[in-house]
Amino acid sequence: MLNKYARAFFTRVLTPFATFLIRRGVSPDTVTLIGTAGVVAGALVFYPRGEFFWGTVVITLFVFSDLVDGNMARQLGRSSRWGAFLDSTLDRVADGAIFGGFALWYAGNGNDNVLCAVSIFCLASGQVVSYTKARGESIGLPVAVNGLVERAERLVISLVAAGFAGLHKFGVPGIQWLLPIALWIVAAGSLVTLIQRVVTVRRESAEAEAAAAAAQGSEAPQ
């Protein structure tokens, strides 16, 4: 849902900025690299110290590069396999840094091994959810399912919760529990999404093999 509606809205909003960067000679790949570097820095510098509000502000400023670089590529007519590969690969790096930052906090001053484990599960399951779709498509299957919690949902839920949880340091009471709740939601949603995709790939694989067998049988000499 977020991919369908929010992405379209922000793409329209960010188009003038993308046009400005093109006029200044900035390439889409440069935006991708800078955006990822900013997200990684925001996550690994602020989150392990429990600075969730400012970390989220920094990450949010850079995470929109994921929309800007694609917009620039379309305007330039340079959409390429390399650009798609680079963008997808660095998305995984950024996601890993965000949930890795949460894990470092809970392993250190956050002093909560359970939430550290949940953060690591969110990190790993998010990577595997992406892999299942990519791997299914690489063997010729459509993988015609998105799932309950995709990357956009994982980021929005986690970052919004982290940003509000960071207000605890500004004197807002009880709000720090939003982040643990969000991590549990993302973990559960990622698990459901993973199961949905695995089941879909299994079904599509069986259908493809049955169709191939039927076609081979029909071509056999009578």
pLDDT one-digit tens code per residue, 24-60: 999 999 999 999 999 999 999 999 999 999 999 999 9
DSSP secondary structure letters along the chain: -IIIIIHHHHHHHHHHHHHHHHHTT--HHHHHHHHHHHHHHHHHHHGGGT-HHHHHHHHHHHHTHHHHHHHHHHHHT---HHHHHHHHHHHHHHHHHHHHHHHHHHHTTT--HHHHHHHHHHHHHHHHHHHHHHHHHHTT-------SS-HHHHHHHHHHHHHHHGGGGGT-TTGGGHHHHHHHHHHHHHHHHHHHHHHHHHHHHHHHHHHHHHHHHHHS--
User: Binding site annotation covers 112?
Assistant: no
Total of domains in the chain: 1
Residue 132 structural domain: 1-210
Looking at the predicted structure, is the pLDDT value of residue 4 above 70?
no
User: Binding site annotation covers 66?
Assistant: yes
Looking at the predicted structure, is the pLDDT value of residue 219 above 70?
no
User: Binding site annotation covers 95?
Assistant: no
Per-residue pLDDT, averaged over 172-192, amounts to 96
Is residue 156 in some structural domain?
yes
Residue 112 a catalytic site member: no
pLDDT one-digit tens code per residue, 115-172: 999 999 999 999 999 999 999 999 999 999 888 898 889 999 999 999 999 999 999 9
Is residue 184 in some structural domain?
yes
User: Binding site annotation covers 91?
Assistant: yes
User: Binding site annotation covers 29?
Assistant: yes
Task: Give the pLDDT score at 65.
Answer: 83
Is residue 6 in some structural domain?
yes
Q: Which of 58, 68, 72, 91 is catalytic?
A: 91
CATH number of residue 51's parent domain? 1.20.120.1760
pLDDT one-digit tens code per residue, 198-215: 999 999 999 999 988 888
